[in-house]
Amino acid sequence: MAHPKAATLERFGPRKRDAAATRAAILDAAKAHFARSGYDRTLLRDIATEAGADVALIQRYFGGKEALFAAALKESITTERLAEWDRRTFAHEIASMMAGGAHQNEERTHRFQFLLRAATSPTTAPMLNVAMRERFMGPIRDWLGGEDAPARARLLAATFIGFLVERLIRDEPLAGREREVFIKRATAMFEALVANPSGGEPT
């Protein structure tokens, strides 16, 4: 007969994770499941199984399915690179990125797929709207500054998302003359969106 302690180790594994690592594993599993199955068809027990955790820990760390989804949204909508954006090169860099393949950065692609899935569900679209306003539109508006910043931020976001969808559907990088024309014209579009209509520096 197996020793009780040995049986426990066999069942739960010998490695213990700290709270931060477990929370991160749950979030990663949640984003994957929500992206694949949508909010309504995703079960907490499936997320817990993939994360190697207990369902009770999801309740402890997040408070339930809706709160877990909101946390996954917030982590998926990031503007951490805003401080690195240079207005002189931003438009060309974004245009060049959009001319590439969707799977050059798998983590970013999966994150975008998760957001697209959230946008198409009546259950989760309102939560996505709140998260977008707080985590994306606000910081973009502040970065743009100047005249009519809220409207310009919305136009920039809409254009950026549209390019991401096209790149995801295309699923391969552009090449040759098509790539050159794409980057040139896309650069001009993003430059126009970033430009301050008043002609001065953003405030």
Residue 26 pLDDT > 80: yes
Task: Assess if residue 178 is contained within a domain.
Answer: yes
31 vs 26: CA distance, rounded Å: 9
* Domain final position from 58, 75, 92: 75
80, pLDDT greater than 70: no
From 75, 93, 123, give the residue that closes a domain: 75
Mean pLDDT of 1-14: 43
**CB 101 within 8 Å of CB 171:** yes
Q: Is 106 found in the same domain as 52?
A: no
Q: With bands split at pLDDT 50, 70 and 90, how would you rate the model's confidence at 17?
A: low
Note the pLDDT of residue 78.
Answer: 74
What is the average per-residue pLDDT within 163-172? 92
Q: How confident is the model at residue 10 (pLDDT cuts 50, 70, 90)?
A: very low
Is 5 inside a domain boundary?
no
Please state, rounded to an integer, the average pLDDT across all residues of the chain: 85
Average pLDDT over residues 6-31: 69
